[in-house]
Amino acid sequence: MRADAIRPGWIRPGWRIGVIGGSGLYDFAALQDAQEIAVSSPFGDPSAPVTIGRIGNVEFVFLPRHGKGHRIPPHAINARANIEVLKRCGVTDVLAISAIGSLREDLAPGSFVAVDQFIDRTHGRLDSFFGEGLVAHVSMADPVCPRLAALAADAADAAGALVHRGGCYLAMQGPQFSTRAESRMYRQWGADVIGMTAMPEARLAREAELPYALLGMVTDYDSWRDGDHVEAGDVLRVMAANAALARAALEHLAALLPIDRIASPIDRALDGAMMTAPAERDPVLTAKLGAVAGRVAG
């Protein structure tokens, strides 16, 4: 399916919000005029077809990170295909919704955290669109778009959630939960919350010049507290309530978006990032990167 075939004329100019739904958020029932469309990627299969639709006059493109019915484990998610497909669909900004564990007493289960930093402890995941034949280095100093993060936090607050603004997300490999020693070490490192999916997702969004924000739904206290440990059943129970709030927050986000989308510096994150001389660029990889980096690599 060509990207230009899924851009209806009724959308508000400027904004097109990609939503990556995490654990407990596998659909987005509030979308009007919803259409499920399979969009292919040169980086393999995305987690699922995208669902496009609108809330009011704002277009959303929804993609469930784990696939329908949560069939894909964290370490097997094809984050490159997911981000590339969203870019191919003309998304301007990406809001990730994720279940997270808390590493702080004041970040209680049931609350939300608008993350602003990451520590990446994943390994073996394909974490860049670039490679041999086309090298690029983007800045990840500030990995989250502050504008989108603030809007997402405001929307969650309007939906009635308890929202914490800012927090460092420790991305662990999974699929197992942390040992108690690991959980306590992550606290010493300054991490506030923990999850398994935000990396390399956030890195890839930056390479694709997509402003990215993550709204985390706290489901548990991880395992750093004496006597506490994480059980999947407990997580599922909290997620059920959190998912309803997350859907409500997305509806409020549509109302809170400014009428005009002012350009973000992240829209041009690849300016100055390309290292390989034009004459030395691999034409196959360059073509593969058309949707992600065609603006600067073509």
Q: Considering only CA atoms, which of 185, 140, 194, 188 is closest in space to residue 167?
A: 194
Are the C-beta atoms of residues 32 and 55 closer than 8 Å to each other? yes
Task: Find out whether 175 and 71 touch, Cβ atoms under 8 Å.
Answer: no
Catalytic residue among 222, 226, 234, 260: 222
Residue 16 bridge partners (DSSP): 59
Phi-psi region of 167 (alpha: psi -120 to 50; beta: other; left: phi over 0): left
Tell me, yes or no, if 228 is annotated catalytic.
Answer: no
| Sign of the torsion angle spanned by Cα atoms 110, 112, 117, 122 | positive
Q: Which of 4, 154, 220, 226 is catalytic?
A: 220
Q: Can 4 be counted among the known catalytic residues?
A: no
Which residues are known to be catalytic?
220, 222
